[in-house]
């Protein structure tokens, strides 16, 4: 560890107590104690870290803000955690090129604000947008509420700078909308959860900021009424920038134990719908929308000002942490099915009698399924429940995770349930880029 203590351009933490917090992220995974935590402040530190890792057989575990929900930044045996919070650099925004470059250490909230201040919009908005880092959001290709219209982080990335296994920082891609020089290596790094290299900076595209928002609260008496709406809306030519929901159990828990703003939330179940089309505030738009919603819209409420809109969104934003506080040992999965299969998904899970509650991104079929009694369930039974949940999604053309990633939390299931060719291909790429397992060994694959 002496070599680490002498690392150039870095803050090095070796005190076991100070390193304790680095064993966790926001998943249920608890990692091993790391060998060290390093906060690099320049390329010399990264180069030396790679040299040491190769020489000593260590693995480097990149970490942003630790809000991940898959155990991706938690240490495995022989890990040095590389905390990017002190990585230098500034946000550089170009109105002419409609893009923004930022270091991995930038907080996502600061990046989004910088874009807004210039009248521009960076859409990716994981619900942790005010706590997570840009680097972490790139490495997980974070989704969020607006992904149903604007896609995930990867859809916004033009180029990526990353530390690779040769100890150097390389740039992949160029900051242009069009670039067709062979397979896109920047995209290989986005969403790779730190297993191919460590992202130090990236350039993302921006668009003009949407000026109008129509925010609607849609309470329903029978929550099954909500389940066909995601595809009914798209079939009718509507594309909401948000379509969130709470099932009856989650809604009731929020009403009874949640924040003050949640106490008066109406309905057996509830959806939060938002549109940002340029004409979304016109009567014609609303009329057309009501036609598609039909009788479901009986008790619809429209947020008339920014304060009301913010009150609705604040309840959605706190749902995850509220449930975590109430049920600390719960297990939460962020499965995904095509939006046309949402009803089938609930039909299948009801038939399986899975003891789950659900909320999340109904509009794009990314459902946050919570097994609240996981802590009191026998491990084999819990595993069987989770496996049936995953199989149900796969059978419907969906996947194990819509946005949180695989990390350590879903690794076993990913390996067991995926097409072996898919896993072998990922392992071949890992072998080509990082044969010694310098980067986040033991994660994902």
- Which residues of the chain form contacts with ligand FAD (CB under 6 A)? 25-26, 61-69, 72-73, 84, 104, 126-128, 132-133, 135-137, 139-140, 142-144, 193-194, 198-199, 320-321, 403-404, 407, 440
> Which residue, among 190, 165, 10, 39, has the nearest Cα to 105 in the 3D structure?
39
Task: Between 286 and 371, name the residue whose CB sits nearer to ligand FAD.
Answer: 371
Task: Between 40 and 175, name the residue whose CB sits nearer to ligand FAD.
Answer: 40
Give per-residue burial for 77-103: e unless 16+ CB within 10 Å, then b: ebbbbbbbbebeeeeebeeeebbbbbb
Sign of the alpha-carbon torsion through 208, 211, 212, 218: positive
Task: Between 348 and 358, name the residue whose CB sits nearer to ligand FAD.
Answer: 358
The position carrying tokens 């409609």 is 98
Task: Between 104 and 227, name the residue whose CB sits nearer to ligand FAD.
Answer: 104
> What radius of gyration do the chain's Cα atoms show?
22
Task: Between 124 and 286, name the residue whose CB sits nearer to ligand FAD.
Answer: 124
Task: Between 198 and 312, name the residue whose CB sits nearer to ligand FAD.
Answer: 198
Minimum CB–partner distance for residue 203 and ligand FAD (Å): 15
Task: Between 4 and 323, name the residue whose CB sits nearer to ligand FAD.
Answer: 323
Minimum CB–partner distance for residue 360 and ligand FAD (Å): 8
Backbone angles phi, psi at 10, to 5 degrees: -155, 155
Q: Would you say 392 and 430 are in contact if contact means Cβ atoms under 8 Å apart? A: no
Minimum CB–partner distance for residue 351 and ligand FAD (Å): 28
* Rama region for 9: left / alpha / beta (φ>0; ψ in -120 to 50; rest): left
Alpha helices in 20-60 (DSSP H): 43-56
Minimum CB–partner distance for residue 81 and ligand FAD (Å): 9
Minimum CB–partner distance for residue 164 and ligand FAD (Å): 11
How far from 382 is each of 96, 378, 389, CA to CA, in Å?
53, 6, 11
Minimum CB–partner distance for residue 64 and ligand FAD (Å): 2
Minimum CB–partner distance for residue 357 and ligand FAD (Å): 16
Tokens matching residue 441: 């060994």
Tokens matching residue 132: 């997570």
> Which residue, among 251, 236, 306, has the nearest Cα to 274 in the 3D structure?
306
């Amino acid at each position: 560890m002496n070599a680490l203590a002498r690392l150039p351009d870095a803050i090095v933490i070796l005190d076991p107590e100070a390193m304790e917090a680095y064993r966790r992220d926001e998943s249920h995974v608890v990692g091993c104690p790391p060998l060290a935590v390093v906060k690099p402040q320049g390329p010399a530190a990264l180069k030396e870290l790679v040299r040491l890792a190769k020489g000593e057989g260590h693995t480097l575990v990149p970490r942003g803000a630790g809000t991940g929900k898959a155990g991706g930044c938690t240490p495995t045996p022989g890990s040095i955690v590389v905390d990017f919070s002190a990585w230098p650099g500034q946000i550089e925004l170009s109105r002419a090129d409609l893009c923004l470059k930022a270091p991995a250490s930038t907080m996502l909230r600061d990046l989004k604000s910088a874009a807004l201040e210039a009248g521009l919009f960076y859409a990716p908005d994981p619900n942790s947008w005010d706590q997570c880092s840009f680097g972490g959001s790139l490495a997980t290709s974070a989704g969020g509420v607006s992904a149903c219209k604007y896609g995930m982080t990867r859809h916004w990335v033009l180029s990526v700078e990353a530390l690779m296994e040769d100890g150097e920082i390389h740039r992949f891609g160029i900051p242009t909308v069009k670039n067709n020089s062979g397979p896109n290596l920047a995209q290989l790094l986005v969403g790779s959860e730190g297993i191919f290299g460590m992202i130090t900076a990236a350039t993302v595209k921006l668009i003009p900021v949407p000026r109008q928002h129509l925010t609607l609260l849609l309470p329903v008496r029978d929550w099954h009424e909500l389940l066909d709406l995601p595809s009914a809306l798209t079939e009718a030519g509507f594309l909401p920038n948000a379509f969130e929901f709470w099932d009856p159990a989650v809604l009731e828990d929020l009403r009874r134990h949640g924040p003050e703003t949640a106490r008066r939330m109406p309905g057996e179940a509830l959806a939060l719908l938002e549109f940002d089309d340029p004409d979304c505030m016109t009567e014609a738009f609303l009329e057309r929308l009501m036609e598609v919603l039909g009788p479901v819209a009986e008790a619809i409420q429209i947020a008339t000002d920014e304060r009301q809109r913010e009150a609705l969104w604040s309840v959605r934003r706190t749902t995850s942490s509220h449930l975590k506080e109430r049920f600390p040992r719960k297990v939460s999965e962020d499965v995904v099915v095509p939006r046309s299969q949402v009803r089938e998904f609930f039909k299948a899970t009801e038939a399986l009698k899975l003891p789950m509650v659900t909320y999340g991104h109904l509009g794009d079929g990314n459902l946050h399924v919570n097994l609240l009694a996981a802590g009191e369930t026998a491990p084999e039974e819990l595993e069987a429940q989770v496996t049936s949940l995953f199989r149900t999604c796969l059978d419907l053309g969906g996947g194990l995770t819509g946005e949180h990633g695989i990390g350590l939390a879903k690794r076993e299931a990913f390996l067991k349930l995926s097409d072996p060719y898919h896993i072998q291909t990922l392992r071949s790429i890992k072998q080509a880029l990082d044969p010694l397992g310098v980067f986040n060994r033991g994660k994902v694959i």
